[in-house]
């Protein structure tokens, strides 16, 4: 079950996501308690995204090697579903150093705090992104989750009754425990691959300075407990899983992940933007990709092959003449060498609006035939540009295709320094 950024936290909120999100621990959520827990997870996700006005979540994730903590994160997340706002604060422990973090998001702005100097950065959200989307989405309504659920259901059968259900004070308590001897070899094989190449890959090992798992990797044990309240919402849970593995020297280590969550203050959570009076604040606009330093000329060569040799026919010039608050104006034109002039020599002005798209800087222009067209401009390297013309965007705006006048068009434009 793979979640996007909006639903990543909710994936944690529904508790079993830690178990069900990867193949590593899929099989421990089986048996008679499996379907009850899955139903509770869906109920929790639906209620928190559609039926309540606000709620808070506390999450702690701790990772250990041989019983010693080498990384830990704590998070307090407040969601205002009704007013589309969220507030997050927490700490991260890595290599013995603790860093704090804070952010606030609503429909109009994102606010981040720099704990080194106490300053704040306020990012104005593009108008194009102000839509009817929720502040947090239900992950179980996503296509990936639906497909993953079918796969997980297929595992049921080899481990009956791993998750047990108890009742106390009108609440359901889900309890599950499993050891290495009870885990099928297929699950351990998948676990080894996921653990080595995604959870604790070489980059993470080097960054955190922990022993790298190389061989004999297997799930040693896993356990979990979740509490469902009278409304069918998973209000708290804790999960622990341990992997054993040998490093490059043949020494075995135990890698442990501990996860805990509390869902609280439902319909009693207040989400508010921080008071910035008297604070050092910097303001930027989302999608503010270009500023005055990009004013200038960019070009590439128009080349053809003659007698098995490359011959320069001319140059394409992309010139930015002004940039004001992220809005760019300029001109595109072509210069041909004598004897190589085509029937049509392109020459037109273009302009952009910084908030027209959350994904691209869109060029608006009228071509030589008087037709209104669009293109796309990106930064390339530090000072160069990547430009496409005659662009047609996908319906969702996430992608596009470009005709670029002809097949020989070169989209890479290099800054001209005179």
Q: 245 to each of 14, 94, 144, 192, how far by Cα in Å?
A: 29, 22, 30, 9
* pLDDT at position 131: 58
State if pTM tops 0.95: no
Tokens of 252: 């075995």
CA distances from 67 to 64, 177, 225, 372, 418 (A): 6, 19, 21, 65, 62
Residues 21-63 pLDDT 10s: 333 333 333 445 777 877 888 888 888 888 899 999 999 999 9
Determine the pLDDT at residue 364.
97
In the prediction, which pLDDT does 334 show? 96
Q: What pLDDT, on a 0 to 100 scale, did the predictor assign at position 134?
A: 77
Q: Write down the pLDDT at residue 331.
A: 97
Q: What is the pLDDT of residue 1?
A: 33
- Under-70 pLDDT residues of the chain: 1-32, 126-132, 143-161, 186-187, 287-288, 396-397
What is the per-residue pLDDT for 153? 64
pLDDT value at position 13?
Answer: 37
**Strands of 163-168's sheet in order across:** 163-168, 171-179, 215-228, 234-246, 252-264, 54-65, 68-80, 85-94, 97-105, 109-114, 119-124, 281-285
Please tell me the predicted confidence (pLDDT) of residue 316.
97
Domain boundaries, the chain: 5-264, 292-415
In DSSP terms, 331 is beta-bridged to 319, 349
Length of the chain (residues): 418
Q: What is the pLDDT of residue 390?
A: 94
Instruction: Say what the pLDDT of residue 225 is.
Output: 92
DSSP H helical ranges for 16-169: 17-20, 32-46, 143-155
Contact 199, 213 (CB under 8 A): no
Q: Which two tokens stand for residue 221?
A: 């044990």
């Amino acid at each position: 079950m793979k979640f996007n950024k909006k639903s990543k936290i909710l994936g944690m909120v529904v508790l079993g996501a830690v178990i069900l999100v990867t193949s590593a621990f899929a099989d421990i959520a089986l048996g008679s308690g499996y379907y009850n827990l899955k139903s509770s997870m869906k109920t929790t996700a639906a209620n928190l995204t559609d039926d309540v006005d606000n709620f808070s979540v506390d999450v702690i994730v701790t990772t250990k090697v041989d019983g010693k903590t080498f990384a830990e994160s704590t998070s307090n997340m407040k969601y205002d579903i009704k007013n589309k706002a969220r507030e997050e604060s927490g700490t991260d422990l890595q290599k013995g150093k603790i860093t704090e973090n804070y952010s606030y998001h609503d429909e109009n702005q994102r606010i981040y705090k720099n704990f080194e100097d106490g300053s704040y950065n306020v990012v104005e959200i593009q108008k194009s992104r102000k839509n009817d989307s929720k502040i947090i989405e239900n992950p179980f309504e996503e296509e990936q989750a639906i497909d993953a659920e079918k796969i997980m259901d297929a595992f049921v059968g080899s481990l009956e009754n791993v998750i047990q259900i108890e009742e106390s004070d009108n609440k359901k308590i889900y309890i599950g425990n499993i050891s290495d001897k009870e885990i099928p070899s297929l699950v351990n094989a998948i676990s080894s691959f996921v653990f080595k190449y995604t959870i604790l890959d070489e980059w993470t090992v080097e960054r955190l300075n922990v022993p790298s798992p190389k061989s004999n990797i297997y799930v040693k044990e896993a356990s979990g407990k979740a509490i469902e309240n009278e409304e069918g919402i998973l209000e708290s849970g804790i999960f622990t899983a341990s992997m054993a593995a040998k490093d490059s020297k043949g020494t075995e280590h135990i890698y442990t992940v501990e996860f805990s969550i509390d869902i609280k203050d439902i319909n009693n959570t207040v989400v508010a933007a921080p008071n910035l009076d008297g604070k050092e604040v910097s303001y930027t606009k989302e999608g503010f990709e270009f500023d005055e330093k990009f004013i200038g000329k960019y070009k590439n060569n128009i080349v053809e092959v003659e007698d098995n040799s490359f011959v320069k026919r001319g140059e394409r010039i992309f010139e930015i003449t002004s940039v004001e608050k992220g809005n760019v104006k300029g001109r595109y034109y072509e210069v041909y060498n004598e004897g190589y002039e085509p029937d049509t020599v392109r020459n037109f002005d273009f302009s952009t609006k910084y908030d027209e798209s959350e994904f691209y800087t869109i060029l608006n222009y009228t071509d030589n035939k008087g037709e209104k067209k669009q293109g796309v401009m990106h930064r390339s390297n530090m000072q160069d540009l990547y430009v496409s013309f005659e662009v047609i965007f996908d319906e969702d705006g996430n992608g596009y295709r470009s005709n670029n006048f002809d097949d020989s068009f070169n989209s890479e434009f290099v800054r001209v320094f005179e």
